[in-house]
């Protein structure tokens, strides 16, 4: 629980990245995005997602088009723009870097650090 | 049985229970507030409304046409609080920005506002001190109503008298043209508040069909009402301050007697009364026995001369007392003392109390006095009876 709270800011920051990934895979509408996130640590709500998508659209990372739905009014289907694709690539690279750093740090580089590792 | 309110979400009507409607409205208002300053605010709100509409549609069916409160709350819960993504970077900024927002508008509104209405007493058409008249002008209510209100307060316990007199003392007359205008003229505060509320409400109703305009109006209207409330409070504060200064000025005009005077003044009165009694007793003694308490005047002094001498002597004795009393009136050299009537009333009260105590003491401790008082009582009854008889007997025809 404590860890969950400590990582709130990180999850929030990563949300945009994840939305980029989801939108990159397919044309989706908001309920799809929520569904895909719902099982994960990044489960979120419309109240957060709509403003985020709006911001991303303003930054020209995503775009949407109206599509008729089988039931009810037309929906906004989101897709990535060229700029969004570019950003996704950059972010993925950066994420690789980060996770590599996270993995490598604290690893036994020599015998003297072994003693310091709390076990 | 619950009242149902029909709302329009992106062009489709939904029926909500009243409490659910309130909850939804609160949610959307909060969302609009939190997205303040976001260029896509309206679009985001529209998206959110659309999403809410989808969820409502999911719970409704052929046999279920009303969204109950619990369902509305569930939907709101599911939606989650609206968080402005653009404000995410500077942490805690959205709340602060929203709170700061009304300030410049408030300053502008205060700047262009007409000079505020003030409570004055109005001489024209005043019955007594113009307090009711002033109040009527201030609240723009018929003066008769205010007077009836005051009359009721007087009858209900006399609080009205105190209030009226206090206001008569503290609230200034409207003397200059500007003051008169401020007392009656420019609309303000209570009346203006109600007028604006009504006007705004109807204006809002007109744009009810246009969802965006309606939301815009609602937000503005709320802001304005809040501003009005602030103005009203400010004005009340200013009025209170003005009244306070008036009160101070009013009392500082008059000398404050030293608190000791409240004790000394009746005492002086008692002393001079005692001297007067002594004077009368000595005169009586002189007339009856030819000597003042056994002290004979030198031969050759007539009775009337003796009385005159006694009067002069006693008035000389009373002179210092009188002088002290006078200095009390004129304490501080402000001319005729304002406290004179107050002190006199106080003095008479002490006198009455003194007499009552004296009579009570005589009645209970001296048999003679008791008999005398009983006699006086009997005599009084007798006099009253005689007067009644005289009144009841038909007067002889001339």
**Mean pLDDT split into 10-residue runs, chain B, 398 residues:** 80 85 87 83 85 85 85 88 64 36 36 57 78 81 82 73 78 73 58 61 61 75 80 79 72 60 73 81 79 71 78 81 69 49 70 79 76 79 84 65
**Separation between Cα atoms, residue B223 and residue B32, nearest integer Å:** 13
CA distance A102 to chain B (A): 23
* Residue (of B45, B37, B51, B110) closest to B79 by Cα position: B51
**Separation between Cα atoms, residue B62 and residue B272, nearest integer Å:** 102
Q: How far apart are the first and last CA of chain B?
A: 88
pLDDT band with cut points at 50, 70 and 90 for residue A100: very high
Residue B115 in domain: no
Residues of A within 8 A of B57 (CB-CB) are 71-72
Give the count of alpha carbons within 13 A of A74, CB side only.
8
Q: Could you give the strand order of the β-sheet that contains B4-9, starting from the edge strand earlier in sequence? A: B4-9, B12-17, B66-67
**Separation between Cα atoms, residue B291 and residue B311, nearest integer Å:** 15
Name which of A31, A57, A73 is nearest B10 (Cβ-Cβ): A73
Residues of A within 8 A of B81 (CB-CB) are 47
Query: What pLDDT, on the 0 to 100 scale, is given for residue B254?
Result: 56
Q: Cβ distance B29 to B77 under 8 Å? A: no
Query: What pLDDT, on the 0 to 100 scale, is given for residue B188?
Result: 46
Q: Would you give the DSSP letter of residue A94?
A: H
Residue B386 sits in the same domain as residue B266:
yes
CB atoms B85 and A52 under 8 Å: yes
- Which of B203, B225, B252 delimits the end of a domain? B252
Residue B239 sits in the same domain as residue B300:
no
Using CA atoms, how far residue A106 sits from A87, A94, A97, in Å, is 30, 20, 16
Minimum Cα–Cα distance from B40: chain A residue: A54
Question: Which range (A9-13, A109-113, B50-54) has the least confidence?
Answer: A109-113
CB atoms A51 and B11 under 8 Å: no
Residue B336 sits in the same domain as residue B387:
yes
The domains of chain A, with CATH numbers, are 2-101 (1.10.10.10)
Q: How far apart are the first and last CA of chain A?
A: 22
| Tokens describing residue B343 | 């002190």
Q: What is the largest CA-CA distance in chain B?
A: 131
Residue B263 sits in the same domain as residue B388:
yes
CA distance A47 to chain B (A): 4
Name which of A46, A58, A76 is nearest B40 (Cβ-Cβ): A58
Residue B104 in domain: no
Residue B72 in domain: yes
Q: Which DSSP helix (H) or strand (E) runs through B396?
A: none
Please check the confidence at residue A62 and state whether its pLDDT lies above 80.
Answer: yes
Residue B138 sits in the same domain as residue B73:
no
CB neighbour class for B121 (10 Å; exposed up to 12, middle 13-18, buried from 19): buried
pLDDT band with cut points at 50, 70 and 90 for residue A87: very high
Residue B95 in domain: no
Three-class SS state of B8:
strand
Domain that holds residue B210: 131-252
| Tokens describing residue B154 | 């007087």
- Which of B252, B273, B296 delimits the end of a domain? B252
- Annotate B12-44 with three-state secondary structure: EEEEEEHHHHHHHHHHHHHHHHHCCCCCCHHHH
Which residues neighbour B51 within 8 Å (Cβ) at sequence distance 6 or greater?
A30, A31, A46, A50, B79
Residue B235 in domain: yes
Using CA atoms, how far residue B186 sits from A35, A47, B139, B181, B235, in Å, is 60, 46, 12, 7, 14
**Residues of chain B contacting A, Cβ within 8 Å:** 10-12, 31, 35, 38-40, 43-44, 47-48, 50-51, 53-54, 57, 78-86, 88
Using CA atoms, how far residue B141 sits from B125, B232, B262, in Å, is 15, 18, 44
Residue B166 sits in the same domain as residue B265:
no
Residue B66 sits in the same domain as residue B157:
no
Residue B240 sits in the same domain as residue B296:
no
Residues of B within 8 A of A51 (CB-CB) are 35, 38, 44, 82-86
Query: What pLDDT, on the 0 to 100 scale, is given for residue A94?
Result: 93
Residue B294 sits in the same domain as residue B244:
no
| Tokens describing residue B257 | 């007697």
CA distance A41 to chain B (A): 16
Query: What pLDDT, on the 0 to 100 scale, is given for residue B395?
Result: 59
Residue B37 in domain: yes
Query: What pLDDT, on the 0 to 100 scale, is given for residue B397?
Result: 52
Residue B270 forms beta bridges with which residues?
A: none
A21-39 pLDDT, tens digit per residue, is 999 988 888 888 998 998 8
Q: Would you give the DSSP letter of residue B256?
A: P
Query: What pLDDT, on the 0 to 100 scale, is given for residue B99?
Result: 35
Residues of A within 8 A of B43 (CB-CB) are 54
Which residues neighbour A66 within 8 Å (Cβ) at sequence distance 6 or greater?
A74, A75, A76, A77
- Which of B201, B235, B252 delimits the end of a domain? B252
- For chain A, strand residue ranges (E) read 62-67, 75-80
> Which residue's entry shows tokens 């529209």?
B46
Residue B190 sits in the same domain as residue B301:
no
Residue B329 sits in the same domain as residue B364:
yes
Query: What pLDDT, on the 0 to 100 scale, is given for residue B329?
Result: 61
- The number of domains in chain B is 3
Query: What pLDDT, on the 0 to 100 scale, is given for residue A95?
Result: 93
CB atoms B44 and A50 under 8 Å: yes
Angle, helices B303-329 vs B339-365, to 10°: value is 120
B104 backbone dihedrals φ, ψ, rounded to 5° = -60, -40
| Tokens describing residue B325 | 């009393």
Give the count of alpha carbons within 13 A of B9, CB side only.
23
Three-class SS state of B67:
strand
* Residue (of B308, B118, B57) closest to A70 by Cα position: B57
CA distance A116 to chain B (A): 35
Query: What pLDDT, on the 0 to 100 scale, is given for residue A119?
Result: 46
Residue B120 in domain: no
Three-class SS state of A75:
strand
CB atoms B85 and A48 under 8 Å: yes
Residue B242 sits in the same domain as residue B346:
no
Residue B126 in domain: no
Give the residue from B29, B46, B50 with the most A CB atoms within 10 Å of its CB, the best one to mutate.
Answer: B50
> Which residue's entry shows tokens 């800011």?
A9
CA geometry: angle at B282 spanning B279 and B285, to 5°?
150
This prediction has a pTM of 0.39
Which residues neighbour B128 within 8 Å (Cβ) at sequence distance 6 or greater?
B164, B168
């Amino acid at each position: 629980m404590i860890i969950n709270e400590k990582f709130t800011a990180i999850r929030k920051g990563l949300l945009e990245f994840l939305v980029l990934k989801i939108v990159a895979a397919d044309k989706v509408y908001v309920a799809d995005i929520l569904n895909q996130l719902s099982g994960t640590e990044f489960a979120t709500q419309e109240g957060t997602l709509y403003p985020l998508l709006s911001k991303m659209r303003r930054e020209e990372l995503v775009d949407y088009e109206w599509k008729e739905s089988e039931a009810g009014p037309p929906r906004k289907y989101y897709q990535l723009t060229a700029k969004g694709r570019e950003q996704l690539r950059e972010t993925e690279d950066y994420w690789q870097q980060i996770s590599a750093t996270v993995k490598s740090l604290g690893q036994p580089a020599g015998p003297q650090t072994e003693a310091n590792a709390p076990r | 049985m619950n009242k149902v309110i029909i709302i329009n979400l992106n062009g489709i009507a939904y029926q909500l229970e009243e409490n659910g409607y309130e909850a939804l409205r609160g949610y959307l208002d909060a969302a609009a507030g939190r997205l303040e300053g976001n260029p896509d605010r309206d679009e985001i709100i529209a998206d959110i409304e659309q999403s809410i509409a989808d969820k409502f549609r999911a719970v409704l069916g052929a046999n279920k046409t009303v969204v109950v409160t619990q369902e509305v709350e569930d939907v709101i819960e599911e939606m989650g609080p609206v968080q402005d993504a653009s404000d995410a970077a500077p942490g805690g900024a959205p709340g602060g920005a929203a709170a700061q927002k009304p300030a410049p508008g408030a300053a502008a509104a205060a700047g262009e506002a007409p000079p505020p209405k003030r409570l004055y007493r109005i001489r024209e058409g005043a019955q007594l001190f113009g307090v009711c008249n002033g109040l009527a002008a201030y609240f723009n209510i018929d003066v008769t109503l205010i007077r009836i209100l005051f009359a009721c307060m007087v009858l209900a316990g006399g609080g009205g008298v105190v209030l009226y007199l206090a206001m008569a003392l503290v609230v200034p007359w409207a003397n200059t043209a500007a003051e008169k205008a401020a007392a009656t003229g420019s609309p303000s505060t209570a009346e203006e508040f109600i007028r604006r509320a009504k006007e705004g409400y109807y204006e809002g109703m007109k744009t009810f069909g246009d969802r965006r305009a309606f939301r815009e109006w609602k937000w503005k209207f709320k802001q304005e009402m809040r501003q009005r409330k602030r103005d009203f409070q400010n004005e009340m504060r200013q009025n209170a301050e003005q009244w306070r200064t008036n009160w101070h000025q009013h009392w500082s005009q008059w000398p404050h007697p030293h608190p000791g005077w409240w004790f000394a003044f009746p005492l002086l009165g008692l002393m001079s009364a005692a001297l007067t009694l002594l004077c009368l007793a000595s005169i009586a003694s002189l007339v009856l026995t030819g000597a003042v308490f056994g002290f004979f005047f030198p031969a050759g002094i007539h009775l009337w001369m003796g009385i005159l001498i006694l009067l002069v002597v006693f008035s000389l004795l009373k002179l210092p007392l009188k002088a002290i009393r006078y200095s009390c009136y004129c304490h501080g050299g402000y001319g005729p003392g304002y406290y004179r009537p107050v002190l006199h009333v106080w003095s008479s009260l002490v006198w009455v109390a003194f007499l009552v105590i004296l009579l009570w003491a005589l009645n209970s401790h001296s048999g003679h006095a008791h008999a005398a008082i009983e006699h006086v009582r009997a005599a009084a009854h007798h006099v009253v009876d005689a007067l009644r008889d005289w009144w009841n007997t038909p007067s002889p025809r001339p």
